[in-house]
Structure 1
Amino acid sequence: MPAHAQPRDDIEPHAVSIDDVVATTNAIRSTVAGAIEGKNERIDTALVVLLAQGHLLVEDVPGVGKTALVRALGRAIDCTVHRIQFTPDLLPSDITGVSIYDQEKRAFIFKPGGIFANIVVGDEINRASPKTQSALLEAMGERQVSADGQTHPLEAPFMVVATQNPIEMEGTYRLPEAQRDRFMARITMGYPARSAELAMLEHHSAASPLDEIMPVTDAQTIRAIISTVRGVHVSTAIAEYVLDIISATRSHQSIRLGASPRATLHLVRACRARAAMSGRDYVIPDDVQALAVPILAHRLIFSGRSGVPSHETAHAAESVIESILRQTPLPERGR
């Protein structure tokens, strides 16, 4: 390839082996875990979402490492990370970009917004107006931005990670259902265990742990891994098992709006990623059970007669999914 040539993102990368997927994801997990103490499960979920080409919603109180997790992931992969601080005066064009008239060229030149990065951190997303939040919809759904009649593709890998504080309601806007449904998974960081917090004090109190992170892979390798993940086998029995779970959310007596068809696709894609990270080229029921709560719970809307207070809906939705998993028969072996 000539020195001036650039690799094209629209060319399908060569898939790598499952062993390579395991080795690379283990290296990323170990590197990120060095900066985020005691959060291996959350790191794994973030990796699953990245490899399944999804987006992640992180809900929790301030100071528990929401933004640090994303920045550590970006540094471990050696890809571009942009942080957008959502505020009430943030405009849609601040996210997507704007066309500016160039006096010398006598033409409008598109100036990309913060959305043009491999990993985009939408910090405190619910502090911006619904109109501004909606500027993310096309980018998250179609991985492109339309502005002034032009379509601008987003470079792969591309993942939006939005954070919000579910406790503080003053000066915030409710995240629209259409927006929530575009997030593949929702996680909470939670407070660290005592041992993890003690280790954090010993190792990271004098300097930022993010400064010590060195890349262990790059965007091109992640694109190749994503290609491998797409080829992970999902049997008919597993697909029917997923549909049984999805259908149960739609018929549950306390749920007004169950999981969408997009949720079905997201769950299957995430299961493929988890299987590959576990060294398998096929999905098993354990993958579905491990991911059903983070991928489905945030999409459920309770009926007004359910008696669930609004501030407790997240925990109630997780309980509903866990109950459905216990009641749904496992696929028969050999099917």
Structure 2
Amino acid sequence: MNCWKIKKLQAQNFRNLKNSIFDFSPGINCILGQNGNGKTNLLEAVFLITNKKSFRKNTDYAQMINIEGESPEIILQSVFESEEGLLPYSLRMSDALEERFFNNKPEKSKTPSTSVFINPFDSYNFHTSSTFRRQWVDSHISLGDKEYRQVLTRFQKAMKFRNSVLGFGGKNASMQLRAIDEQVSEYSAFITQRRFEFLTALNQFITPTFKAIFSEEHTLQLDLDSLFVHWDQKRIFDFYRHQENADIKAEVTQVGVHRDDFIFSFDGLNAFEFCSLGQQKMAFLSLIFAYIELFRYKFTSYPIVLIDDVSGELDSQRWKNLIQYLETKNFQVLITTANEIFGKELEKIPASKKFYMEHGTLKHHG
């Protein structure tokens, strides 16, 4: 297994990170420090350079640039390491341009590695928002499936046009809808099938991952709640033809993959309705680490795991279980905390690297 792990990172003019070199361990990196000192910004820089976007919603260059910087551009320089050796990778971003260099050569699409970000607040959003669940599933399929990402983008554009036709109406609406529904039905069949296949594969890992982390026996499963499961393009097209008058009256597309949902079950019951908040958080963490195991299974390498202060979301025994689980794995972890007790537990991890973040500067201390 050839896993590219980030060895060094230098950030210039990125949020409050100082122009210093961050030197990481290939295993667990514990990043300690009080809130507001740049711990999450460091995780964002790693995510940006590996995933080509921020994990923060609606964030662009204007939000990421340090306005007190010496030049009007963001520069992230990194070195990745694997059994094959060292590989330099850099990003230069300004208001008008974004350039990436892979092994000192211009590169538009490829990155050395991928990263997964674990946010302590995402469990609540996942269990309470169907929109968040769709976005979560779509983004995690897209990490390893370029075709899915492209088709999803085409579908979203087609659906936007369909809804504009429905909203505007007019005597040519039916003819326009028939034309666009050819595309919508094609994309819908593809997206639904890929979502179904993804969940089928993911579900093989969720229950054993929950047991591995929390040492408890429960059955977990994430299922697709969609009318279009196992439907082909023609059947979906015929459905939209039949649905046309109702959609024209509503002035919006009422049914489709853009409104599909996902049901997360815990021992056969809906996790949102029947689980405690603690169980929901445990289930969500298990879902993410199950995805990480699926990623390794499909691509023979682990993503970099970025964990932003989950200590406040778990009781002491459960985050001790999480630490023990991380110790057994071969993936690279950057985990932050402002919790002194949790920080002391992290410092006990053998062969881990400990840092203290203060005013945008990362200081190695163990």
Does TM, normalized by the shorter one, top 0.5?
A: no
* Structure number, greater radius of gyration: 2
State the TM-score, normalizing by the size of structure 1.
Answer: 0.28
State the TM-score, normalizing by the size of structure 2.
Answer: 0.26
Q: Give the structure with the larger strand fraction.
A: 2
Higher relative contact order (CA 8 A, sep 6+): 2
